[in-house]
Structures are given as structure tokens and as C-alpha cells.
Structure 1
Amino acid sequence: MDVEELLSALDPDQRQVAENLRGPLVVRAGAGTGKTRAITYRIAHGVLVGAYEPNRVLAVTFTSRAAGEMRSRLRDLGAHGVQAQTFHAAALRQLSYFWAHAVGGPMPQIQESKVGLVAQAAGQLGIGVDRTTIRDLAAEIEWSKVTLTGQENYVEKARATGREGVAGQTLESIGRLIAAYEEAKSARGVIDFEDILLILIGIMAERDDIARQIRHQYRYFVVDEYQDVSPLQQRLLDHWLGERRDLCVVGDVSQTIYSFTGATPSYLRDFRKRFKEASEIELVRDYRSTPQIVDAANRVIAPGRLEGAVKLQAQRPSGPAVAYHDYDDDDAEAKDIAKKILALQEQDVPLSEIAILVRTNSQSQAFETALGDAGIGFVMRGGERYFSRREVREAMVMMRSYARSGVESTMPEAVREIVTQLGWARKAPKNTGAQRERWEALNALVTLADDIAEVREADLAGFVAELEERASMQNAPTVEGVTISTLHAAKGLEWDAVFLAGMSEGLMPISLAETPEAVNEERRLLYVGITRAREHLFVSYARARSASGRGNRKRTRFLDGIWPETENISRATRNRRRAKDAALEFELNHPDDLRLLESLKAWRKAQSAEERKPAYLILVDRVLMNIAAAKPTTIHELGKVKGIGTMKLDQYGSAILQIVDAS
């Protein structure tokens, strides 16, 4: 593959990223704009032209799944040997190598869960805890470590950042717990995941010889999802870099949804303040979602737009209008969503391309019941891990044996032969339940084998190696079934059809979001949810929890001005608005005013047909009447017309002024 052949697969902005081989470089990439494509092609381009030695490139991601996907893409592009790791995996690899030389003796065991140590520390301090309390306290200890907040300054920093005591404990009590936790950890001779980064930072700070070796090994860095970096991760990145500037960071401040864990968008937002010579490229072409979905996403985030955020530009053809629904209660919402899923299935939308996204795990039960009653298979994001399933483990064992046997057959044929022995058939069983789940798990192996064979040559041994790597990264292949997921867990994923359910005040934003910063993060979370959808987006909420409950819920404030005004309003309110509109229309008694109003309505009708969405989503009658009465001649004057917001002004301002001018 030559350079032009490689880069011809990119759009102009992505190509600019791929051609900019020397850092520092900051890429501000909106949802669906192909950021992973851009940075993997950048690495492949650098390797192809000899600018990078593959084993000296370190691409850092935030999840094992993303790291696995990036390695797979790089292999497909011929960039073998490039390291794509999470911060923790890369740090652990380096720490394991240098431990004996820097510290001596065997490396301590890594404590995968803090729960036992937190319970022990709490007991020593006389703090009564249950399972939920322990999890909350463990999360607070983790926050203190990733924000580089020690026990001695925890109370001051926690108070300054607006944090309050958790699990009924004061900040002072939690400060003492942090110290007791560290003592309990030392007494057991173990370390936790944050210690991996902290210890490596300490070694690099104290041992120049080790720091030089690490910096010699890795010379070119790429960090994906940079808006989610924590102070601890940034400190390690600084040590990896030293005085060098070969750093490319990619992110989107509008997708910052993990501030509660210690992540901060400030490093992305202020990148050019630190690296004044840095190049900056924006990726704004959204290839994932239809114009209707992109418009909804832009409008949700616009009132809380942040410095460094990008406005998406839809690249896909027009699709269905975003659907907004309200229901009497949660069960009615879940049952109707199940019906809509069956309708989508009849339109040939695979179940694996449909997701129900909710704010909290507790909301999932109603949807599990409704989907089960409708005979619709589903998978819970965060449920049983794919590679832990018995049939998958058995298939991998048989594949290893088959690969050693020397039997000649293509990789996809061999995979089919093996999974057939485990109960797979070309046609899916009609019944749901365990048998269907087993078939879906095995069929995912068949599909993955076909997908890999399409893009590169691979034998069965290579396929097994791919599965083993995916298992270590928990990068599971797609399993057929509707996905039920929280909005946080859906980050980084996408589907053809998405149902955003339970979008009411108290859930979106969550009732715990009491500060302006917390509310803005909830707005960004809704933005992330919207941008998971490619073609179909359904947004809904229920007015009451149960059929016998009081219908006092209100839809989320984040959809003000977006949710269709003709829905979810009382008859009395509609009558008052009609009377007000009639009074205004009566005032437009001059023939020229009425002709202008009719011209505006004709324009709206044509615009509605072009955008394939209801006319009232363009501009409601009341606003058109206001325009006809005011007859503005400039954008400034039009902006003063009641009912015209910034988004409408940007979209339709020029066209409206032309109509007024021609009247």
C-alpha cells in the first residue's frame, strides 16, 4: 500500500490529522467524526513513510476494549508492532519490567477490589458499613488517588471542589479512612490499580536512568479520549514525555461525563496554553448520525456549550424525525418501546443494532420484563462477560486443538465445523431463553471469523490468538439481542436505533446533580446518549412511576425548545395559545402583513419537506406571525423577534430575511 492509497480513504480534515506526523497536535473531534480512524491512519502513515519505528509508538486509550480495537485496526493497516494500551496496562508492563532493578524482590500482588481493605479500615475506625457504603467509600478513596489528593490535604481539596461526605461520613472521617486504608494495604503487602501509576511515577522521578530507558523506548504518543484524563494519568504522561513534544491528543469536551471519578477536560481545553506551538485540527463531519439526530445533539449541547466544543455537521442522508413520546407510567413506556422494537425488526433492523439507554441501572427491570413478555432477546451491558460463557470457552479449546491437528480448511470453514459440534446451526432457533443465548454466542464467533477473513489473511491459529487477545481486553464480538445499558456504559458505542428512556427531571438530570457543574455534566451525558444513534432515535419519559402513582414527573429541562410543543400540553394551554395566536393574526390586518405571513408559511412548508420533519419543528405559527408583524431587515433585528433563538437564527436567518425583503 502506498501513501496516497492509504490517505485517500480519509476526508480532508482526517487527512490533515494523518499528515501531521509531528507533535504537539490537538484534535478536537466531535461524536461520530471518525477520530479513531484519523489517529490510526496517522500512525499507519508514520510507520509507512519511516517517520515512526512501530515499537516506539504508544497509543493510549481508556478502555481495554478500545485498545484491542485500535490494535486490530493498526494490524489491518499494516502497522504491526505499535503498542495500543490503557494507561494502567502500559504502566503495569513498565513497572513489572523495572521493579526488580528499581525496588528489588518480587512485585506485590495487585488488589483488584478495594472492598475488603476498605471494610477492614472502616472496622478499625469504628465506622459501620454495609455493601453499598463500602462501594461509595471505595469510590471516594479512588477519587482522592486519581486527583493526587493525599490524606493530609483531602478535606481542604474535597471541600474546595464541592464534594460532600459520602455514606453518612464527614470529610474529616473520610480523610482518616484514607490513611487507614493505605496502612491496611501496606500491612497486607499489596497494591491497588492507582498505585501502579503512582509507583511508576515515583521511580521515574527518582531514577533518571530508568526514565531515560522508558523515554528511549517510547518516543511518539497518542492519547485518545483526552477529555477523560485524570491528574494522575496526566502526571504519568508528563513523565513519559520528558522534554519532548511528540504528543497527539484527541478528544471532545462535550463528551466529558466522568468528572465524578476525577477526570477533567481542562488538559484538553488548555492544551494550546501549555504547548503554544501546537497544531489544532477540528473534526466536525458526523458520519454516524442522520441530520435529524445531529440537529438534536447540537441543540441539546448549545445552551451549555464549552470552550473547545465543536458543532457537528451531518454527512448522512436525511432520515426519520426524532420521535418524542410521553407515557402515563413506567410500564406503559416499557411496553410501547417493546412494540416499537418489534416494528423496527420488521423493517429489517437487527436486534443487535437496537439499544435502550437509561440513566440508572434501577430503571432496567421494566424493560427486561417488557422485552421478555414480547419474546425479544436482550443483553445487559455489564452482565455476564462473553468470554466467561461455557460454550465460548469450549469453542476456544477445540479451536486450539484443531489448529494443531494440521487439518487443511479455511479459517471460517474450520470455525463453522467446530461450533456446529457445540450446537450451532445456520438457522437460529425460534425459541428464546438459554438455547437462543447459546446459539447467539456461538454465532458471534462465526460472524467474527467472516469479518476478519474479509480484511486480512488469517488461519485458525491466528483466529484463536485474536480471540485470546480480545478475551484479555474483554473486547467481545457482537451478540444478537437488544442492548439495555446505562448512558455512562454506552459511551464509545453506537447502534442503528436508540431509545432514550426515562428522560424526566430527577433522572435527567439526576436529582443528585445540585451544582451548575454537575447539571452541565448531565446535559453532556444526554448529548452522548443522543449521539449513539445512527438513524432512529426515540426519546421518552413517563409521568408516573406506576399506574396508581401521581403523574407529577416533568420531562427533562434539557429538551426545552426541542420537545415538540404540540405534545404533552394540556387542552387549556392549547386553547390559550390558539386565542393568543388568533389575536395576533387579527392585528395583521394589512394585506402586506398577511401576504408576508403566507410567504413565511410557504417557505416553512418547503423547509419541512426538505428536512423531513414536522413544520412546527421549523418555526411555530406564533413566531411566523411575530416576524410578519416586526418585518425585520437585519439579523440583529430578527434576533430580537420573540421565539427566535440562536440555533434558529443560524439555520434560517438568511432565508427569512430574503422572504421579508421580497414581500
Structure 2
Amino acid sequence: MDAEGILRGLNADQRAAVLHDHQKGAQLLILAGAGSGKTSVLTKRIQYRIAMGVNPENILALTFTAAAATEMRERVQTLFPGAGVRLCTFHSLALYMLKQKIGGVYAYEMVGFKKPPVPQESANRDFMDELSRLHIRGLKFNRENLFDDSYAPSVTHRIAKLRQSVLESGQVVFEDLIFQAIRLLEGHEEAREYFHRQWTEILVDEYQDINPSQYRMVKALLGDRKSLFVVGDDDQAIYGFRGADIGNINRFCDDFKESTLIRLEWNYRSTPNILHLANDIFENKPLRLRKVLRAGNPKGSGGNPIFRENRAPEVWMSDTPIEEMLKIICRIKELRESYDLAWKNFAILVRYNRQRVYYEEVLRDAELPIAGEEIDGEAVEDGIHVETVHASKGLQYAVVFYAGLAEGLTPGECGGSRRERKKQLDEERRLYYVGVTRAEAYLILLYCKQRYWKGRLRNYRRSRFLPRDAELSEGLKMPLILFKIHVVVQVLSYMFAHILVLPFVMAFKHKEVNLWVDKKIQCFARFCMKVLRIDLSVEDQAILGRVDWTRPVFVMGNHNSYADIPIIFLTIERTIGFIAKAELRFIPFLGFWMKKIGCVLINREKGGGAKLIREAMAKGRAPRLFIFPEGTRGKDENMVPFKSGGFRLAAETEATILPVYIKGSGFTWEHRKDSSRCKVSVKILEPVDVKAMIAERGTIDPRKDLMHLVRDRMEAAV
């Protein structure tokens, strides 16, 4: 398969990652949201580089489990059978390195081994006995850290005999291999140059899970080169108890000053309402590393109707575990009958193994099949999955019952100093996020007020992680004129309040101003939906993933209301400006925000819109503009005649046109009849790549080739 074939099917962000040029963009950090196809990106990056002529033996890809390495190797070799890419875990790489012969000497001999290293299972108890025998006390470390070089000289001297015995016997534990590989790379120039020649491109999966020693190993393997390609998700860093340091991914852009950051935010697993909940989990997260998951059509969306329903996550409160289990069993049976779901489509997730045992026992008593359980000597495959959230990472299920959403269970008990408790609680929040994003179509969060735990009956408070009541209330009924006054006051107050905050953002977080504006625009749009009492649904949002947002994009939609602006903000889920009359800048607060979001203000008598857009492009900005092609706002749901001006702009700037059809927005304000809730739907249509069209045809007629094409698509969507 050629290079273009490898890239086929990737969204714009995935494609940018696979095509990344290290010489221009230096090291690359990919923040890959849950369900965003990170394994596919890693695999295709390796395939693409091989297709570009890179020797497979010069590519090194590091993963955390042998199973993940095997899966990636199989994917790579579907296109390049027998490709000698080294795909392995950190520990197996370190062992491989120590067994290489460099300049006639084995690498393990360079670091002091008398015999080839042979990994053994960690024996911390025997190690502690050995410490006691040698009268070494008061040292707070385990066997895994015996060769850590960060100890004070006095400590190093006291453990020298233990280290020497390992070097003489070759009986190592896995972490010894990492420390010795670091010694080899940092202390022996000949070995360092040997491995730098061996691997010219380095890729690392699950970067958020590497510990400090693995980080040093990666840095030593890379040297002063730029060819580092790492994928990770700081929101799924859940192995701090194993020594993983989330700081490695948080500091990446500081450690590598010239590096590039790409976010993978299109989720191909879950429905939009599940993703809305997932995004709210990290509402207060620092802006620089924030991601917004967007629904890219879950894998089951074309089949079972449960995916098309886009169910909102539910919170079930029960007084006792018995009441809770009766609800779970009834709902499982109901869903199986209504949607023809297999048992394996259901999962019960818990925080602790002890909880898992309880749910398995109850399911057995109810004679429901459990995955992995043995019956008559054979393992059940089509059964309900009951597992810890840690074990569920990387998996997904159509229906998830997330149990134990109570303080002390989820989040689990956090101890130690205030700083330690905060660190643990942050990891518990990330673990909750992992659990939420295992659900594909239907998520039920379970809170039980009372249950037996560790031998006694306990009362529990609901988890701080549980969403606030998501039920939309009708709100206070009021006359229409009062409702409109209420909306105007609320919206203007919101806009003014955030103008007051902006100077502080610019003073103390000036590098994050654009990110702050992006976030606040989305918050503003949601606020508008709330005060206007709009229930918004978006169809075919996954099409947005096929748009190249690094080029000018003109979103063209029918126009029925002032509410169309915040509706489009939420539909596109990006900051987007619009073309408007220049005099609008004098409206209080509105002019300020129009400038911030990149609106183009045109004097209708003088024109010059294309010139303004080209000037923005010359400054390195790719305009994203919402354009109403209709001559006037429609007075009903029917579209009025289009004007060709916006299409001429699209042709002159070789933009991408993204048509959208809005239904029902006129009844949110201009034609509103009362203060009750109203429904608005938006359908995203196939984009029109004007640049590609011009390249194919040579010249195009904006009115004939663009305007009529877009209008036809909108009319077909009605």
C-alpha cells in the first residue's frame, strides 16, 4: 500500500500526527483522548515512515505490556510482513541492550555484571531480610530501587554489597534492567553512539504511565535529536501507585522547548451525552492540557438502535445493595429483550476487587452468565463483565453500570499529608474518567447509601464525582416580554463579567489567552441554551473530523434567529467568528467579543471582505467564519433566496465550505410564543473543498458551482 493509502480514513488531527516532520516541528506529544484511535495513529505512523523509506530496523516503539507490543507488531506487519521494527516493553528493551556486543565487549560487562543478567520475580521480603542481616536499617526503599543512583553517598556505601552480589550472580529484577540501561547510555559514550545509530526514530505509547527512570532512559536514547513521537493521555494516568509520574507528560513542552502538541479529541467509542459528562470531569483542569472529546460516530452507531438514542447518563440511588442489584438485573434483562444485546455487551465496573467478588456472587445467584467464569471446564465468553476500573482500561461496553459512587469507594480513601491526599484524589478523578469512558451507549452511575464493607455495615455519602442533577427543569413560567428581558440581562451580564476577568488572564496566563477564550465561548453557548431554555441536538457531528481546520473554513447555514450564533458555537465546538456589519462593533460588550473570536466586520457599502480575510491569513491565522448566505433571516422554517457574496469569498480564499442546516431556532427568540422549553436540531452536511475543486476544474463559478450545490444539500436535509 502506498503512503496515501495508509493515511486513508484518518481525521485531520490523526493525519497531522502521522505526517509530523520532526525536523520542522521537533519532538511530538500527542494528547490522545479516550477512544480517539491512538493505537491506530501509532501503527500508521510506523507504516508511513517505512513507506517513506525509513529502515524498519531503525524504528523503536515502546509500550507497557507485551500484549500491546504484539498487537501493534501484527498491525504493522499486515502491510510490511517481517518488518524488523523493535516493538517491545521498556524492560525487554533494556535486557536486549545489555546483551548486545559493542566493540567486542558485552554491554552488561560494561556496567559491571560478571554473568549475563537473568530477570527474576521481585522478592522484596527476602531483600528486607538481607538488609536486616547486614544491619542496614531505616532505609525507605524496596528491592526495585536497589540501583537507583539518587541516594546519598552514605546510603550508597551501605548497600554496595547488595549491589555487588546482584552483579556477580546476574539475578536481577525488572527495574534493575532499566537502571543498568541508563548507566550504559549515560556513562559509556561508545554504547550510547551504538544505540543512537541503531534507532533513529523513537515512539512511546502510554507516555503518561512512564516512571522517572523510564523517562531518563527515553531521554538518553534520544540524546539531542528531535525524532521523539509520544502518545499519551494525562486524563488516564491511573498508575501512580506503581511509580508512574504524570509530571512527565505535563512537563513535555517545557522539557522539549521546540516540540509540537497535537490533540486527538474525536472519540470513536461513545455517544455525545456520555462524552459531555466525561468533559465535565476536568472542568477546572489547566487550559494548556485540556481536551474536549467529540463524538466521531461510535462503532455501534450504524447498528443497534441504543446507540442512536444518545441516552443521557443516569444516576441511580439505592438504600441497600439488594435494592441496587434488583434494579441492575431488571435493567439488563429489559435491555437484552428490547435491543437484542448479547450478555458480553454489559459490564459492571467497581473500584476495588472486593466489590467485584460481591457483584459476581449476586449475578451467579441470579443465574446470569459472567465472562471468564468456568462452567463444566469451559470459560464463559458471552457473559456479563465484572471488573475493576483499572482492569477495564482499553476496553469498552455498550452498557456500563458503574458501581460504588460513594465517598470512600469512588473516590477511594486518601491518606497522608494534604499534598499527598490531593495527589491521590486527582488520580481517583482520573480513574473515574476512565470508568465513564468505557461506556459506548448507556451509562448508569450507582450510589448505594448503605453497604457492608470490610466486615461491618457502613453508611455512605454520595460521591463528589457524581454529576449534579442533570434533569432540565422548566423553570419559572413568566410572560414572554419578561422572559425576553430576563434573557437579555442574563446574557449581557455574562459577557460583561468575563470581560472583567480577561485582564487578569492576560496578566498571569498570557500564553493561554486563546485557550481561555475558546473555553469561555463554549461556556457562553451552553449558558445561552440554558437561559433560552433550548434543547439542542446535533446530527452527524463526526463530519467535523474530516475538515482541515488549519485552512480557512466557512460554515454556511440558514439563518432564523440571533440564537443561531451560540447554536453554531456548540455545533462546531470551536471558536468561530462570523461576517457582520461593521457598525455592530458599537453594541456594548458584543464588539469586544466579536474581535476576540475573529469576526470580520465589513462596511456593506465599501465591501472588501476578501481583502480582510487574506490579511488575516497573511498573519498566519486560518479564519473560521460562520456565514449566512440568505439575503434576510427567514420568517419561518423555509429558506429564503441566497446571496452569492459569501461563495465568492470562499472561491477567492480557496476555503472549505461546511454547510449546516438549523431547524427550529426561529422559535427560540424572534417567533417565540411563550417561556417554555423549545427544541432545536442541527444537521452537519458534507463539506465542499473549494481548493480541491479549483485544482480539478481550473476555474469555478461561485454562484453556479458553489451556491447552488450548498443550497441543494441544505434542501435535501430539510
Count of aligned pairs between the two proteins: 491
Describe the shift of the 1:251–1:104 C-alpha distance in structure 2 as closer, same or farther (beyond 3 A).
Answer: closer
SS in structure 1 at match of 2:319: strand
Partner of 1:488: 390
The alignment status of 1:632 with 2:494, answered yes or no, reads no
Distance 2:422 2:269 in 1: 30
Q: 1:153 to 1:254 in 2, by over 3 A?
A: farther
Change (3 A) 1:265 1:565: same
**Is 2:19 aligned against 1:19?**
yes
| 2:244 maps to 1:337 | no
CA shift in 2, pair 1:540/1:182, >3 Å: farther
**Aligned equivalent of 1:141:** 142
Residue 41 of structure 1 corresponds to which residue in structure 2?
44
Q: Give the counterpart letter for 1:438 in structure 2.
A: E
AA partner of residue 97 (structure 2): Q
Deviations 1:457-487 (A, max 9, x none): xxxxxxxxxxxxxxxxxxxxxx432222211
Aligned to 1:373: 365
Partner of 1:503: 405
Could you say which structure has the larger radius of gyration? 2
| Residue 275 (structure 1) aligns with | 256
Relative distance call for 1:629 and 1:177 in structure 2 (3 A) is farther
Q: 1:187 to 1:32 in 2, by over 3 A?
A: same
Deviation at 1:89, TM superposition (A): 1.3
CA deviation after TM superposition for structure 1 residue 14, in Å? 0.6
25-34 vs 485-494, which deviates more?
A: 485-494
Alignment of 1:381-400 (within 5 A): none
Aligned identity (percent) is 31
1:650 CA drift (Å)? 4.2
- Partners of 1:652 and 1:177 lie apart in 2 by 62
2:242 and 2:374 mapped to 1: Cα distance? 37
CA distance in 1, matches of 2:260, 2:46: 17
Amino acid at match of 1:368: E
| Post-superposition offset of 1:283 | 0.9
TM-score by length of 2: 0.61
- Give the letter for the 1:19 counterpart: L
User: Using a 3 Å threshold, how does the CA distance of structure 1 residues 489 and 44 change in structure 2: closer, same or farther?
Assistant: same
- Contact 2:314 2:443 (C-alpha < 8 Å) held by counterparts: yes
Q: Indicate the residue corresponding to 1:434 in structure 2.
A: 375
In structure 1, distance between residues paired with 2:384 and 2:134: 46
The residue that corresponds to 1:55 in the other structure is: 57
Contact 1:117 1:181 in 2 (8 A): no
Aligned match of 2:424: 518
User: CA offsets per residue over residues 334-353 of structure 1, 9 Å max, x none?
Assistant: 34323333334333333333
Q: Is the 8 A contact 2:114 2:168 kept in 1?
A: no
Aligned to 1:6: 6
For residues 551 and 315 of structure 1, the distance between their equivalents in structure 2, rounded to whole angstroms, comes to 42
Aligned equivalents of 1:200 and 1:87: distance in 2?
A: 10
Rate the CA distance shift 1:357–1:184 in 2: closer, same or farther, 3 A.
Answer: farther
Partner of 2:151: 150
Structure 2 unaligned runs (5+)?
101-105, 302-307, 500-518, 533-561, 564-667, 673-718
C-alpha displacement at 1:94, in angstroms?
1.5
Change (3 A) 1:182 1:510: farther
| Match of residue 481 from structure 2 | 592
Structure 2 residue aligned with 1:536: 442
Deviation sequence 1:258-297 (CA, Å, 0-9, x none) = 2232222222222222222222211111111100110110
Q: Write the distance in 1 (CA, Å) between the matches of 2:281 and 2:173.
A: 39
Taking a change above 3 Å as real, the CA distance of residues 549 and 116 of structure 1, as seen in their structure-2 partners, is closer
Q: Of the candidates 79, 83, 88, which is equivalent to residue 91 of structure 2?
A: 88
What pairs with 1:102-251 in structure 2 (closer than 5 Å)? 102=110, 103=112, 105-118=114-127, 120-121=129-130, 124=133, 141=142, 149-150=150-151, 190-251=171-232
Cα gap change, 1:433/1:57 in structure 2, threshold over 3 Å: closer, same or farther? closer
Rounded Cα–Cα distance in structure 2 between residues aligned with 1:565 and 1:127 = 64
Distance (Å, rounded) in 2 between the aligned partners of 1:83 and 1:304: 36
CA distance in 2, matches of 1:180, 1:502: 48
CA 1:520–1:49: 2 relative to 1, 3 Å: same
Change (3 A) 1:271 1:127: closer
Determine if the alignment matches structure 1 residue 361 to structure 2 residue 353. Answer: yes
Give 1 or 2: higher helix fraction.
Answer: 1
State whether residues 410 and 463 of structure 2, in contact with CA within 8 Å, keep that contact through their aligned partners in structure 1: yes
- Structure 2 distance, partners of 1:494, 1:145, is 39
Q: Is 1:652 paired with 2:490?
A: no
SS in 1 for 2:527: helix
* Structure with greater proportional strand content: 2
More displaced 10-residue stretch of structure 1: 334-343 or 498-507: 334-343
Change (3 A) 1:82 1:189: closer
Tell me how far apart the structure 2 counterparts of residues 480 and 591 of structure 1 sit (CA, whole Å). Answer: 56
Query: C-alpha separation between the residues in 1 aligned to 2:353 and 2:234?
Result: 25
CA 1:153–1:41: 2 relative to 1, 3 Å: farther
Q: Are 1:544 and 1:550, in contact at CA under 8 Å, matched by a contact in 2?
A: yes
Whether the aligned pair in 1 keeps the contact of 2:145 and 2:176 (CA below 8 Å) is no
Say which structure, 1 or 2, has more relative contact order (CA 8 Å, 6+ apart): 1
**For 2:434 and 2:295, how far apart are their aligned partners in 1?**
16
